[in-house]
Amino acid sequence: MKIQAPPGMRDFYPEEMRFQNWLFDAWRRVSRAFAFEEIDGPIFEHLDLYKKKSGEGIVSELFSFQDRGGRELAIRPEMTPTVARMLAARASSLPRPVKWFTIARMCRAEKPQRGRLREFFQWNCETFGEAGPLADAEQIAMLAALLREIGLGPDDVNIRISHRALAASLLQAEGVRPERTALAFQKLDRLEKWDSDADFARDWNAQLGADARAERVLALLRETSEEACLARCESAGEEGARVAADLRRLREHLDALGAADYCRFDLRIVRGLAYYTGTVFEAHGRSGELRAVAGGGRYDELVELLGGPPTPAIGFAMGDCVIAELLRELDRAPRLAESLDVYVIDADEALFPDALRLVADLRRQRLAVGFSYKRAAVSKQFKLAAARGARFAVVVGQELRAAGQAQVKDLTTGEQRSVRVADLRTDARAFAPRPDPKAGP
Ligand code: HAM
C-alpha cells in the first residue's frame, strides 16, 4: 500500500529544504538587524488559549484533540497567543520593550489551495511594552526590510495600513452600532473573497443592513485617500483626533525608517483575528491573486486577558507558502543548488585511506567535504564532484608518495596547483575563493 502525506501537508526534499533555509536565514538576519531575540513555544496548547481571543474564524480551523487525561488541546494555528502567554508569565521581570521573534510550524484545518495549506511555517515578530506609533513603525519597517532583503521591491508588494479604531469610528458614523462592530469587521475582512460587490452587499445587508446599508459602506471603503479619512477621523471627537495624530506620526516614522515606499493607507484592511485593537496592516503581492503575504497589528488587551499586567503589544507574521508562490510567480525564486566546499578524489586505490584521512581533517576545519563511496576512475570522480556542486577538488595520487603533495583544482576557474597535504590538513585557506583579478582594489 502506498501512503502519501495527508492533504495540505508537505514533504521537504533537499531542493525544497534549500528554499526553506534560504528564507529562514533571511528571516533571522532581518530579525537580528532589528534587535529581536528568537524564542519558541510548544507545538500544541490548551484549546482555551485560542478560544479566548483569536476569534471564531481561527477556532473553527483548529486541529484539536483530547489527551489521555481528558485535556482539550489544539495544535498551534498561530504564534501570537503562545508568545503573549509566555510574556504574561514573566511580565514583571522582563526589561521593556520586549522584542521577540519565532520561526515555527503551524497547522490550520483549512481547505488546501494555492498558498493556503494545512501545515506551514510562520515568521512571527512581536513587540511588547511600547504603546506609541514608533513600535508600529518599526514592525512595519521590519516587514519592508525582509521584502527588500529577498528582492521584492515596492513595485512587487505593498503594505496596506489601517487602524481598527479609525475604521470603527467611520463605520459607527454610518450607523453601525458599537456592539455590532466586531461582526462588521469580520464581514469587511472577507470582502475580497466575494465574486462581486453585489454578493457582499447581500450578505452584509442580511445581518447589518438595519445598521448601515452595504452600498454606503462600500462607498466609504473606496475612499482610500488617507487625508480624507484622517480628516473625518479628526472631526469624530477626542479619540478620533488621537488616532489620527498617531497615524500621522506613524507615517513620519515610516519615512525616517526607509519603509514609506512600500506603505499605503487602505481602509479595507481590518484583519480577521479578534484580538486587534489599533493599527492593522497586511502585505499583498501587486497582482492581488494570492492571499496576504503577511499580516499583523496592535493587540493591547491580549496579555492582560491571559493573566498578565496591561501591556501594549504589536506584531505580525509572514507565512512561507505565499511568499514562495509570489517569488515563483515573479520568477524571482533563488536558484539554489547543493554546494560542497571540497570533493576529495583518490587517483590510486591504494591511497584511499590517505584520501579518507584528508576528508576527516578537512571536515574538522568545518569544510563541507564529499567523496565517492565507490572506487572509480578519476574522470568519474570529477563528474561526481561537479554534480554535488563542489567548489574545489583535491586529487590524492602519486604526488603524495613522491612529494607529500596533492593537486587542488578550483572547479569554477579550472585553475590547478600542487599543495602540501600537511598544510591542507590544518589550514583551509587553500579553499578560500581567490579574489577576482579583474576586480579593482
Ligand atoms: P494571519 O493573518 O492569520 O495572522 O497569518 C499571517 C500569515 O500567515 C498570512 O498572511 C499567511 O502568509 C500565513 N498563513 C496563514 N494561514 C496560512 C495557511 N493556511 N497556509 C499558508 N500560509 C498561511 C496571524 O497568524 C497573526 N498571529 C499575526 C500576528 C502576529 N498578529 C500580531 N502578531
| Within a domain: 167 | yes
**The pLDDT of residue 86 is above 80:** yes
Looking from the CA of residue 61, the nearest atom of ligand 1 is 19
In-domain check, residue 268:
yes
How high is the pLDDT of residue 437?
A: 55
What number is the average pLDDT over the span 141-161?
Answer: 97
Residue 56 pLDDT grade (very low, low, confident, very high; cuts 50, 70, 90): confident
The domain spanning residue 90 has which CATH number?
A: 3.30.930.10
CA distance 300 to 85: 13
Task: Look at residue 165 and tell me if it is in a domain.
Answer: yes
What pLDDT was estimated at residue 53? 77
Give 123 or 194, the one with higher predicted confidence. 123
Distance 262 CA to ligand 1 centre (A): 19
Give me ligand 1 centre to Cα 300, in Å: 19
Residues 58 and 150 in one domain: yes
Residue at which a domain ends, from 329, 355, 384: 329
How many percent of the chain have pLDDT more than 70?
Answer: 98
Q: What is the pLDDT of residue 435?
A: 60
pLDDT-based confidence at residue 52 (cuts at 50, 70, 90) = confident
Look at residue 200 and tell me if it is in a domain: yes
Mean pLDDT calculated for residue range 435-441? 55
pLDDT of residue 83: 98
| pLDDT for residue 421 is more than 60 | yes
Domain that holds residue 381: 340-431
Confidence of residue 438 (pLDDT cuts 50, 70, 90): low
**What is the share, in percent, of the chain residues with pLDDT greater than 90?**
80
Specify whether the CB–CB gap between 393 and 380 falls below 8 A.
no
Residue 345 sits in the same domain as residue 323: no
Please indicate, yes or no, if residue 272 is contained in any of the structural domains.
Answer: yes
Residues 315 and 346 in one domain: no
59 shares its domain with 122: yes
**How many domains does the chain contain in total?**
2
CA proximity to 139, closest of 226, 304, 257, 231: 257
Quick one: pLDDT band at residue 436, thresholds 50, 70, 90?
A: low
Instruction: Verify that 244 and 272 share a domain, yes or no.
Output: yes
What number of residues does the chain have? 441
pLDDT for residue 340: 96
- Same domain as 362, residue 257: no
For a ligand 1 pocket test, name from 120, 303, 306 the mutation site with the most ligand atoms within 8 angstroms of its C-beta: 120
pLDDT at 434 over 90: no
Q: Are 79 and 106 within one domain?
A: yes
Stretch 159-167: mean pLDDT, rounded? 93
Give the pLDDT mean for 411-428. Answer: 93
> What per-residue confidence (pLDDT) applies to 277?
94
Q: What are phi and psi of 96, to 5 degrees?
A: -90, 155
Boundary (domain end) residue, out of 301, 329, 357: 329
Residue 441 scores a pLDDT above 70: no
Q: How far apart are CA 120 and CA 339, in angstroms?
A: 26
Q: Dmax of the chain from CA atoms?
A: 95
Residue 69 CA to ligand 1 center (angstroms) comes to 31
Residue for cell digits 500544541? 44
Assess whether 242 and 111 both reside in one domain: yes
Residue 440's pLDDT is: 54
CATH number assigned to the domain comprising residue 379: 3.40.50.800
Question: 180-184, long-range: CB within 8 Å, 24+ apart, which pairs?
Answer: 180/208, 180/211, 182/274, 183/207, 183/208, 184/208, 184/211, 184/217
- Rounded to whole angstroms, the Cα distance separating 56 from 53 reads 9
Name the pLDDT band for 439 (thresholds 50, 70, 90). Answer: low
Give the DSSP letter string of 56-119: HHHHTT--EEE-TT--EEEE-S-SHHHHHHHHHHTGGGSPSSEEEEEEEEEE-----BTTB-SE
Ligand 1 centre and the CA of 368: distance in Å? 36
Q: Is the pLDDT of residue 429 over 70?
A: yes
158 closest CA partner among 172, 149, 148, 166: 148
pLDDT of residue 151: 97
Predicted confidence band of residue 57 (pLDDT cuts 50, 70, 90): confident
Residue 335 belongs to some domain of the structure: no
Mean per-residue pLDDT of the chain: 93
Residues 323 and 350 in one domain: no
CB-based pocket (< 6 A), ligand 1: 78-80, 108, 110, 116-117, 120, 122, 124, 126, 273, 292-297, 299, 315-319, 321-322
CA 295 – ligand 1 centroid, Å:
6
Question: 121 and 164 in one domain?
Answer: yes
- pLDDT one-digit tens code per residue, 211-238: 999 999 998 887 767 888 888 888 877 8
Q: Do 127 and 148 lie in a common domain?
A: yes
Same domain, 33 and 114: yes
User: Does residue 31 surpass a pLDDT of 60?
Assistant: yes
Whether 282 is in a domain gets the answer yes
329-366 confidence digits (pLDDT tens): 999 999 999 999 999 999 999 999 999 999 999 999 99
Q: Is the pLDDT of residue 10 over 80?
A: yes
Q: What is the pLDDT of residues 263-291, one digit of tens each?
A: 999 888 999 888 999 999 999 998 777 88
β-pair type (72-75, 64-66): antiparallel
Domain end among 277, 294, 329: 329
Whether 358 and 344 have beta carbons less than 8 Å apart is answered as yes
7 part of a folded domain: no
